[in-house]
Structure 1
Amino acid sequence: MAAALELRSLASGDVLATQGQDASSIFVLQTGELASKLVKQAERSNPQALMAASSLETWNDEATILAAESVMVGHYIESIVATQPSQVLVVPISRVAILQLFAAAPLTALSFGRALARKIVHANENLSSAQAGVARLERQLEGIYSKFYGIVNGIQKDAEGEQDVLDAIKNARNSKTYGMGQRLQGETASNASEMTRVIESY
Protein backbone atom coordinates (compact mmCIF):
# COMPACT_ATOMS: atom_id res chain seq x y z
CA MET A 1 0.00 0.00 0.00
CA ALA A 2 1.38 3.37 -1.02
CA ALA A 3 2.28 5.78 1.75
CA ALA A 4 -0.17 8.64 2.17
CA LEU A 5 0.59 12.25 1.37
CA GLU A 6 0.84 14.56 4.36
CA LEU A 7 0.16 18.28 4.57
CA ARG A 8 2.55 19.44 7.28
CA SER A 9 2.36 22.78 9.07
CA LEU A 10 5.65 24.28 10.24
CA ALA A 11 6.37 27.11 12.64
CA SER A 12 9.35 29.38 12.05
CA GLY A 13 12.44 27.43 13.09
CA ASP A 14 10.92 23.97 12.59
CA VAL A 15 13.17 21.49 10.82
CA LEU A 16 11.59 19.74 7.84
CA ALA A 17 14.59 17.57 6.90
CA THR A 18 17.88 16.91 8.65
CA GLN A 19 21.14 16.68 6.75
CA GLY A 20 22.46 13.11 6.65
CA GLN A 21 19.19 11.34 7.49
CA ASP A 22 17.64 8.82 5.11
CA ALA A 23 15.64 10.56 2.39
CA SER A 24 12.38 8.91 1.42
CA SER A 25 10.17 11.94 0.71
CA ILE A 26 10.18 15.02 -1.44
CA PHE A 27 8.48 18.24 -0.35
CA VAL A 28 6.17 20.60 -2.20
CA LEU A 29 5.99 24.09 -0.70
CA GLN A 30 2.42 25.35 -0.31
CA THR A 31 2.86 28.55 1.69
CA GLY A 32 5.61 30.29 3.65
CA GLU A 33 9.36 30.11 3.23
CA LEU A 34 12.01 27.41 3.62
CA ALA A 35 15.80 27.56 3.62
CA SER A 36 18.59 25.03 3.21
CA LYS A 37 21.36 24.92 5.81
CA LEU A 38 24.66 23.10 6.24
CA VAL A 39 26.10 22.69 9.74
CA LYS A 40 28.56 20.44 11.54
CA GLN A 41 27.30 16.94 12.31
CA ALA A 42 27.12 17.64 16.06
CA GLU A 43 24.79 20.61 15.42
CA ARG A 44 22.37 18.97 12.97
CA SER A 45 19.80 18.18 15.68
CA ASN A 46 20.05 21.67 17.20
CA PRO A 47 17.32 23.96 15.79
CA GLN A 48 19.02 27.06 17.22
CA ALA A 49 22.29 26.21 15.46
CA LEU A 50 20.43 25.58 12.21
CA MET A 51 18.60 28.90 12.38
CA ALA A 52 21.85 30.73 13.15
CA ALA A 53 23.64 29.16 10.16
CA SER A 54 23.74 31.01 6.85
CA SER A 55 21.15 29.90 4.29
CA LEU A 56 22.46 28.30 1.11
CA GLU A 57 19.12 28.66 -0.66
CA THR A 58 15.74 30.14 0.19
CA TRP A 59 12.42 29.08 -1.34
CA ASN A 60 9.11 30.94 -1.12
CA ASP A 61 7.41 30.14 -4.44
CA GLU A 62 4.27 28.02 -4.22
CA ALA A 63 4.63 24.49 -5.65
CA THR A 64 8.44 24.49 -5.40
CA ILE A 65 9.60 20.85 -5.23
CA LEU A 66 12.43 20.17 -2.79
CA ALA A 67 14.76 17.28 -1.92
CA ALA A 68 14.38 15.22 -5.09
CA GLU A 69 18.17 15.12 -5.41
CA SER A 70 18.39 13.90 -1.81
CA VAL A 71 16.06 10.98 -2.54
CA MET A 72 18.23 10.18 -5.57
CA VAL A 73 21.35 9.81 -3.39
CA GLY A 74 19.51 8.20 -0.47
CA HIS A 75 19.99 10.83 2.24
CA TYR A 76 19.23 14.49 2.75
CA ILE A 77 22.21 16.46 1.49
CA GLU A 78 21.17 19.56 3.46
CA SER A 79 18.90 20.48 6.32
CA ILE A 80 15.67 22.25 5.35
CA VAL A 81 14.26 24.70 7.89
CA ALA A 82 11.16 26.88 7.95
CA THR A 83 12.17 30.54 8.20
CA GLN A 84 8.54 31.60 8.64
CA PRO A 85 5.26 29.74 9.26
CA SER A 86 4.86 27.38 6.32
CA GLN A 87 2.79 24.56 4.91
CA VAL A 88 4.47 21.75 3.01
CA LEU A 89 3.10 18.71 1.20
CA VAL A 90 5.23 15.70 2.13
CA VAL A 91 5.32 13.17 -0.72
CA PRO A 92 6.81 9.74 0.07
CA ILE A 93 8.68 8.52 -3.01
CA SER A 94 11.50 6.16 -3.95
CA ARG A 95 14.52 6.71 -6.15
CA VAL A 96 13.08 4.26 -8.69
CA ALA A 97 9.80 6.17 -8.79
CA ILE A 98 11.65 9.43 -9.46
CA LEU A 99 13.58 7.83 -12.33
CA GLN A 100 10.32 6.46 -13.77
CA LEU A 101 8.78 9.92 -13.51
CA PHE A 102 11.74 11.44 -15.37
CA ALA A 103 11.43 8.82 -18.11
CA ALA A 104 7.71 9.50 -18.51
CA ALA A 105 7.96 13.29 -18.24
CA PRO A 106 11.16 14.72 -19.79
CA LEU A 107 10.14 18.28 -18.87
CA THR A 108 10.09 17.26 -15.22
CA ALA A 109 13.58 15.82 -15.61
CA LEU A 110 14.70 19.08 -17.23
CA SER A 111 13.23 21.09 -14.37
CA PHE A 112 15.04 18.84 -11.90
CA GLY A 113 18.30 19.33 -13.79
CA ARG A 114 17.90 23.09 -13.68
CA ALA A 115 17.18 23.01 -9.95
CA LEU A 116 20.26 20.86 -9.36
CA ALA A 117 22.37 23.24 -11.45
CA ARG A 118 21.16 26.18 -9.35
CA LYS A 119 22.05 24.28 -6.19
CA ILE A 120 25.57 23.64 -7.49
CA VAL A 121 25.95 27.33 -8.37
CA HIS A 122 24.81 28.35 -4.88
CA ALA A 123 27.22 25.87 -3.28
CA ASN A 124 30.08 27.14 -5.44
CA GLU A 125 29.25 30.74 -4.55
CA ASN A 126 29.41 29.93 -0.85
CA LEU A 127 32.57 27.88 -1.28
CA SER A 128 34.17 30.54 -3.45
CA SER A 129 33.40 33.18 -0.85
CA ALA A 130 35.19 31.18 1.85
CA GLN A 131 38.06 30.32 -0.48
CA ALA A 132 38.43 33.99 -1.42
CA GLY A 133 38.87 34.90 2.23
CA VAL A 134 41.50 32.21 2.72
CA ALA A 135 43.29 33.16 -0.50
CA ARG A 136 43.28 36.83 0.51
CA LEU A 137 44.86 35.95 3.87
CA GLU A 138 47.44 33.75 2.15
CA ARG A 139 48.38 36.59 -0.20
CA GLN A 140 48.74 38.97 2.71
CA LEU A 141 51.00 36.54 4.56
CA GLU A 142 53.06 35.90 1.45
CA GLY A 143 53.52 39.64 1.06
CA ILE A 144 54.77 39.91 4.63
CA TYR A 145 57.22 37.01 4.15
CA SER A 146 58.53 38.42 0.88
CA LYS A 147 58.94 41.92 2.32
CA PHE A 148 60.83 40.55 5.34
CA TYR A 149 63.12 38.59 3.00
CA GLY A 150 63.80 41.71 0.94
CA ILE A 151 64.37 43.92 3.98
CA VAL A 152 66.90 41.51 5.51
CA ASN A 153 68.85 41.25 2.26
CA GLY A 154 68.72 45.02 1.77
CA ILE A 155 70.05 45.75 5.25
CA GLN A 156 72.87 43.25 4.84
CA LYS A 157 74.25 45.16 1.86
CA ASP A 158 74.53 48.34 3.95
CA ALA A 159 75.76 46.75 7.18
CA GLU A 160 79.35 45.83 6.33
CA GLY A 161 81.58 46.35 9.38
CA GLU A 162 78.66 46.71 11.81
CA GLN A 163 78.87 43.42 13.68
CA ASP A 164 75.80 43.96 15.86
CA VAL A 165 73.67 44.49 12.79
CA LEU A 166 75.26 41.53 11.00
CA ASP A 167 74.54 39.30 14.02
CA ALA A 168 70.93 40.41 14.01
CA ILE A 169 70.71 39.71 10.28
CA LYS A 170 72.20 36.25 10.82
CA ASN A 171 69.46 35.49 13.34
CA ALA A 172 66.85 36.87 10.97
CA ARG A 173 68.10 34.67 8.13
CA ASN A 174 67.61 31.63 10.37
CA SER A 175 63.99 32.53 11.08
CA LYS A 176 60.99 30.74 9.54
CA THR A 177 59.70 34.05 8.20
CA TYR A 178 62.88 34.62 6.19
CA GLY A 179 62.88 31.00 5.00
CA MET A 180 59.30 31.29 3.80
CA GLY A 181 60.08 34.52 1.97
CA GLN A 182 63.08 32.86 0.34
CA ARG A 183 60.93 29.91 -0.76
CA LEU A 184 58.27 32.21 -2.20
CA GLN A 185 60.92 34.16 -4.12
CA GLY A 186 62.25 30.87 -5.47
CA GLU A 187 58.77 29.72 -6.50
CA THR A 188 58.15 33.01 -8.30
CA ALA A 189 61.37 32.63 -10.27
CA SER A 190 60.65 28.96 -10.96
CA ASN A 191 57.10 29.70 -12.14
CA ALA A 192 58.35 32.47 -14.43
CA SER A 193 60.99 30.13 -15.87
CA GLU A 194 58.43 27.36 -16.42
CA MET A 195 56.01 29.76 -18.11
CA THR A 196 58.79 30.97 -20.41
CA ARG A 197 59.69 27.37 -21.27
CA VAL A 198 56.08 26.49 -22.11
CA ILE A 199 55.60 29.61 -24.24
CA GLU A 200 58.82 29.00 -26.16
CA SER A 201 57.84 25.38 -26.84
CA TYR A 202 54.87 26.46 -28.98
Structure 2
Amino acid sequence: MSAYRCRVAEAMTAAREAAGVSQRELADRLGRDKRTIQKWEKGEMKIALEDFLAVFDALKVQVEPYSKWIRHPELFPNGLSDILQYSTDKKRAALGDFYCRQASPMEVEQEYYFLFADHGSDYHGMYQQWMANLLTPLRDRRRICAQVIENYNEALATGTITDPDAPQPNMEVLQACYEASAQSIQNGANGYTMLSLDLNR
Protein backbone atom coordinates (compact mmCIF):
# COMPACT_ATOMS: atom_id res chain seq x y z
CA MET A 1 0.00 0.00 0.00
CA SER A 2 1.38 3.41 -0.99
CA ALA A 3 2.05 6.10 1.59
CA TYR A 4 -0.49 8.25 -0.22
CA ARG A 5 -3.29 5.69 0.14
CA CYS A 6 -2.27 5.15 3.76
CA ARG A 7 -2.76 8.85 4.48
CA VAL A 8 -6.15 8.84 2.73
CA ALA A 9 -7.24 5.95 4.93
CA GLU A 10 -5.85 7.57 8.07
CA ALA A 11 -7.55 10.89 7.27
CA MET A 12 -10.95 9.26 6.80
CA THR A 13 -10.64 7.31 10.03
CA ALA A 14 -9.54 10.36 12.00
CA ALA A 15 -12.35 12.51 10.58
CA ARG A 16 -14.98 9.88 11.35
CA GLU A 17 -13.74 9.40 14.91
CA ALA A 18 -13.49 13.14 15.48
CA ALA A 19 -17.13 13.44 14.36
CA GLY A 20 -18.15 10.67 16.78
CA VAL A 21 -19.63 8.52 14.00
CA SER A 22 -19.34 4.74 13.87
CA GLN A 23 -18.43 2.85 10.72
CA ARG A 24 -21.96 1.44 10.64
CA GLU A 25 -23.55 4.89 10.90
CA LEU A 26 -21.29 6.29 8.19
CA ALA A 27 -22.13 3.35 5.94
CA ASP A 28 -25.84 4.01 6.50
CA ARG A 29 -25.46 7.70 5.69
CA LEU A 30 -23.67 6.86 2.45
CA GLY A 31 -25.91 3.95 1.53
CA ARG A 32 -22.89 1.66 1.46
CA ASP A 33 -21.91 -1.59 3.15
CA LYS A 34 -19.98 -1.38 6.42
CA ARG A 35 -17.31 -3.64 4.94
CA THR A 36 -16.63 -1.02 2.26
CA ILE A 37 -15.97 1.59 4.95
CA GLN A 38 -13.63 -0.83 6.72
CA LYS A 39 -11.68 -1.51 3.51
CA TRP A 40 -11.36 2.22 2.80
CA GLU A 41 -10.11 2.92 6.31
CA LYS A 42 -7.57 0.08 6.14
CA GLY A 43 -6.39 1.18 2.73
CA GLU A 44 -7.34 -2.21 1.30
CA MET A 45 -9.54 -0.65 -1.36
CA LYS A 46 -8.86 2.53 -3.36
CA ILE A 47 -11.53 5.16 -2.89
CA ALA A 48 -12.81 7.33 -5.72
CA LEU A 49 -12.63 11.10 -5.29
CA GLU A 50 -16.42 11.35 -5.40
CA ASP A 51 -16.73 8.85 -2.56
CA PHE A 52 -13.96 10.54 -0.56
CA LEU A 53 -15.78 13.87 -0.74
CA ALA A 54 -19.07 12.18 0.09
CA VAL A 55 -17.53 10.74 3.28
CA PHE A 56 -16.59 14.18 4.59
CA ASP A 57 -19.92 15.63 3.53
CA ALA A 58 -21.75 12.86 5.38
CA LEU A 59 -19.60 13.46 8.46
CA LYS A 60 -20.19 17.23 8.19
CA VAL A 61 -16.42 17.71 8.50
CA GLN A 62 -14.45 20.18 6.36
CA VAL A 63 -12.34 18.23 3.89
CA GLU A 64 -9.78 20.96 3.12
CA PRO A 65 -7.40 20.51 6.09
CA TYR A 66 -7.37 16.72 5.68
CA SER A 67 -6.86 17.01 1.94
CA LYS A 68 -3.96 19.38 2.50
CA TRP A 69 -2.37 16.94 4.97
CA ILE A 70 -2.77 14.07 2.49
CA ARG A 71 -1.05 16.05 -0.27
CA HIS A 72 1.53 17.89 1.85
CA PRO A 73 2.25 15.97 5.07
CA GLU A 74 5.55 17.83 5.39
CA LEU A 75 3.56 20.92 6.38
CA PHE A 76 2.19 19.15 9.47
CA PRO A 77 5.07 18.16 11.79
CA ASN A 78 2.71 16.45 14.24
CA GLY A 79 0.66 14.67 11.61
CA LEU A 80 -3.09 14.64 11.97
CA SER A 81 -2.94 16.07 15.47
CA ASP A 82 -2.03 19.39 13.83
CA ILE A 83 -5.41 19.24 12.11
CA LEU A 84 -7.48 17.91 14.97
CA GLN A 85 -6.12 20.59 17.31
CA TYR A 86 -5.65 23.55 14.98
CA SER A 87 -4.17 26.65 16.59
CA THR A 88 -5.50 30.07 15.64
CA ASP A 89 -2.44 30.68 13.46
CA LYS A 90 -2.94 27.38 11.62
CA LYS A 91 -6.61 28.16 11.13
CA ARG A 92 -5.62 31.56 9.76
CA ALA A 93 -3.17 29.91 7.37
CA ALA A 94 -5.82 27.40 6.28
CA LEU A 95 -8.27 30.22 5.59
CA GLY A 96 -5.63 32.14 3.67
CA ASP A 97 -4.82 29.07 1.58
CA PHE A 98 -8.50 28.40 0.94
CA TYR A 99 -9.29 31.88 -0.35
CA CYS A 100 -5.97 32.19 -2.19
CA ARG A 101 -5.95 28.82 -3.94
CA GLN A 102 -9.18 26.87 -3.54
CA ALA A 103 -12.23 29.12 -3.22
CA SER A 104 -14.35 29.64 -6.31
CA PRO A 105 -14.56 33.14 -7.81
CA MET A 106 -18.10 33.45 -6.45
CA GLU A 107 -16.93 32.64 -2.90
CA VAL A 108 -14.10 35.18 -3.14
CA GLU A 109 -16.41 37.91 -4.46
CA GLN A 110 -19.03 37.26 -1.79
CA GLU A 111 -16.53 37.17 1.08
CA TYR A 112 -14.92 40.39 -0.16
CA TYR A 113 -18.37 41.99 -0.32
CA PHE A 114 -19.18 40.92 3.26
CA LEU A 115 -15.96 42.40 4.60
CA PHE A 116 -15.41 45.57 2.58
CA ALA A 117 -18.53 46.66 0.68
CA ASP A 118 -20.82 49.52 1.63
CA HIS A 119 -23.86 47.35 2.28
CA GLY A 120 -25.00 49.15 5.42
CA SER A 121 -24.34 46.32 7.88
CA ASP A 122 -21.44 45.98 10.27
CA TYR A 123 -19.66 42.78 9.22
CA HIS A 124 -18.69 41.96 12.82
CA GLY A 125 -22.40 41.98 13.64
CA MET A 126 -23.23 39.85 10.59
CA TYR A 127 -20.74 37.18 11.64
CA GLN A 128 -22.27 37.08 15.12
CA GLN A 129 -25.73 36.69 13.58
CA TRP A 130 -24.50 33.77 11.48
CA MET A 131 -22.81 32.14 14.47
CA ALA A 132 -25.88 32.52 16.66
CA ASN A 133 -28.06 31.12 13.88
CA LEU A 134 -25.78 28.09 13.39
CA LEU A 135 -26.07 27.26 17.10
CA THR A 136 -29.87 27.09 17.02
CA PRO A 137 -31.90 23.95 16.14
CA LEU A 138 -32.18 23.19 12.44
CA ARG A 139 -35.96 23.77 12.43
CA ASP A 140 -35.35 27.37 13.50
CA ARG A 141 -32.57 27.88 10.97
CA ARG A 142 -34.87 26.61 8.25
CA ARG A 143 -37.56 29.09 9.28
CA ILE A 144 -35.07 31.97 9.11
CA CYS A 145 -33.84 30.71 5.72
CA ALA A 146 -37.43 30.78 4.43
CA GLN A 147 -37.76 34.41 5.54
CA VAL A 148 -34.50 35.33 3.79
CA ILE A 149 -35.65 33.68 0.55
CA GLU A 150 -39.00 35.47 0.75
CA ASN A 151 -37.38 38.87 1.45
CA TYR A 152 -34.92 38.53 -1.42
CA ASN A 153 -37.55 37.39 -3.93
CA GLU A 154 -39.82 40.28 -2.90
CA ALA A 155 -36.97 42.77 -3.37
CA LEU A 156 -36.31 41.32 -6.83
CA ALA A 157 -39.98 41.53 -7.77
CA THR A 158 -40.37 45.12 -6.58
CA GLY A 159 -37.01 46.35 -7.91
CA THR A 160 -35.78 47.29 -4.45
CA ILE A 161 -32.50 45.33 -4.39
CA THR A 162 -30.19 47.68 -2.48
CA ASP A 163 -27.06 46.94 -4.51
CA PRO A 164 -27.86 45.43 -7.94
CA ASP A 165 -24.19 45.48 -8.96
CA ALA A 166 -23.08 43.47 -5.92
CA PRO A 167 -22.44 39.70 -6.03
CA GLN A 168 -25.86 38.12 -5.82
CA PRO A 169 -26.77 34.98 -3.86
CA ASN A 170 -27.07 31.70 -5.71
CA MET A 171 -30.76 31.10 -5.08
CA GLU A 172 -30.67 27.56 -6.50
CA VAL A 173 -28.16 26.59 -3.82
CA LEU A 174 -30.11 28.42 -1.10
CA GLN A 175 -33.36 26.73 -2.15
CA ALA A 176 -31.67 23.33 -2.28
CA CYS A 177 -30.32 23.86 1.26
CA TYR A 178 -33.82 24.79 2.39
CA GLU A 179 -35.26 21.60 0.89
CA ALA A 180 -32.46 19.43 2.28
CA SER A 181 -32.96 20.85 5.75
CA ALA A 182 -36.67 20.06 5.50
CA GLN A 183 -35.88 16.41 4.80
CA SER A 184 -33.47 16.28 7.73
CA ILE A 185 -36.05 17.77 10.07
CA GLN A 186 -38.57 15.14 8.96
CA ASN A 187 -35.97 12.48 9.77
CA GLY A 188 -35.34 13.95 13.22
CA ALA A 189 -31.83 15.16 12.37
CA ASN A 190 -30.23 18.48 13.31
CA GLY A 191 -27.96 18.75 10.27
CA TYR A 192 -28.28 18.29 6.53
CA THR A 193 -26.31 17.60 3.40
CA MET A 194 -27.47 18.24 -0.14
CA LEU A 195 -25.94 14.90 -1.19
CA SER A 196 -28.96 13.11 0.23
CA LEU A 197 -31.45 15.45 -1.42
CA ASP A 198 -33.73 14.01 -4.08
CA LEU A 199 -33.97 17.00 -6.38
CA ASN A 200 -36.14 15.12 -8.87
CA ARG A 201 -39.04 14.40 -6.56
TM-score with structure 1 setting the length: 0.24
Bigger radius of gyration, 1 or 2? 1
**Structure with higher helix content:** 2
TM-score w.r.t. the length of structure 2 is 0.24
Greater length-normalized contact order (CA 8 Å, ≥ 6 residues apart): 1
